[in-house]
Amino acid sequence: MTDQAPLQPGGKFQHPDITAKGEERASVSLSDPKTLWFNTGTLCNIECANCYIESSPTNDALVYLTRADVEDYLDQIEDRGWPVTEIGFTGGEPFMNPEMIAMAEAALLRGYDVLILTNAMRPMMRKTVREGLLLLRLAFGDKLTLRVSLDHHTPKHHDTERGKGSYEKTLTGMRWLRDNGFRMAVAGRTVWGDDDATSRRGYANLFARENFRIDAMNPGETVLFPEMDETVDVPEITTACWGILGKQPEEVMCASSRMVIRRKGAAGPAVLACTLLPYSPEFELGSTLAEAERPVKLNHPHCAKFCVLGGASCSA
């Protein structure tokens, strides 16, 4: 317990070391780095109602990474001896980035599994992108996975989030991936109040109808994300919570992953503790993987609701 005086009520998630009640804040060490994420840029072909990263056709707060950027960090993985098995690409919409195919190829050539998060809409369905994807599929097979954002298994809820007609456009992209033998996963949301079992049954029925090779009951293939609303009151995570919750720090996402970004106007890329917090400067750890090896204080509502209490993970 720190000797520093507790903060006033209502001051949650402000002090890096102690909670508003004066208790020692929990932290998580990078104990087993398995996934390195690259945010390819915040530009997206659509603007969703509740995008945690505020992606849109005009938001370039995080600018495009390049193949050279990715290769530099792949070199650093080897130099640091990190036991990484998976390279993830997120956005924005990754296929807006003109070097997306090249970046994926760079990681696949090193032997990593590659996960690309996409809405499977027009950027992915451009002729040159489809040709590039087919070449990657031919060369690397199931080492490449496309995780498609399908917020709900019905068009009504999905289109409420992503715009009228987006459900059918996404299914068109998924059918192309299916017909060409790509390994797919799906990312959905639980914001509409369905319990886990109901949501998974709905996705299972959809996958069966469409003959999608996706297991709705496997949380690694059908990921259901809780809503990430920073205004919702959630408890702070103290060191005592591990024992109370029966959970280990090693189970939290920042124990096994980091994310590389490039901010608009920055001299170079930076490494973040978490894929969910690109705009929180206290979660920026430096420009190198060596700097990013330090522990992470769980000083954000997402740390509590999404990771510790929700048990969610962005990785496969």
Question: What's the pLDDT at 225?
Answer: 86
Residue 311 reports pLDDT greater than 80: no
Question: Tokens for 283?
Answer: 């979660």
User: Strand 296-297 and strand 144-149: pairing?
Assistant: unpaired
pLDDT (tens digit per residue) in 23-78: 999 999 999 999 999 999 999 998 888 888 889 999 999 999 999 999 999 999 99
Single out the residue of 88, 107, 78, 96 nearest to residue 38, CA to CA. 88
11 lies in a domain?
A: no
Q: Residue 261 is part of a domain; what is its CATH number?
A: 3.20.20.70
Single out the residue of 214, 206, 210 nearest to residue 176, CA to CA. 210
243 lies in a domain?
A: no
132 lies in a domain?
A: yes
189 lies in a domain?
A: yes
Q: How much of the chain, in percent, has pLDDT values that exceed 70?
A: 93
Measured CA to CA, the distance from residue 153 to residue 183 in angstroms comes to 19
Contact between 13 and 236 (Cβ < 8 Å): yes
CA dihedral (238, 241, 243, 244) in degrees, to 10, reads: 150
10 lies in a domain?
A: no
Measured CA to CA, the distance from residue 283 to residue 286 in angstroms comes to 9
Residue 4 reports pLDDT greater than 60: no
Residue 316 reports pLDDT greater than 60: no
| Bond into 88 cis (ω within 30) | no
DSSP H or E segment with residue 134: helix 127-140
308 lies in a domain?
A: no
153 lies in a domain?
A: yes
Residue 9 reports pLDDT greater than 60: no
- Order of all β-strands in the sheet with 270-272: 222-225, 183-189, 144-149, 113-118, 86-90, 35-39, 257-261, 270-272, 284-286
Under the banding of pLDDT at 50, 70 and 90, the label for residue 227 is confident
pLDDT (tens digit per residue) in 232-283: 788 899 999 999 989 999 999 999 999 999 999 999 999 999 998 999 889 9
Q: Which segment of 1-5, 146-150, 211-215, 239-243 scores lowest on mean pLDDT?
A: 1-5
Instruction: Report the first-to-last Cα separation within the chain, whole angstroms.
Output: 36
| Domain coverage including residue 62 | 32-232+254-295
How many domains would you assign to the chain? 1
Q: Which segment of 118-127, 163-172, 196-205, 298-307 scores lowest on mean pLDDT?
A: 298-307
314 lies in a domain?
A: no
Q: Which segment of 7-16, 106-115, 160-169, 246-255 scores lowest on mean pLDDT?
A: 7-16
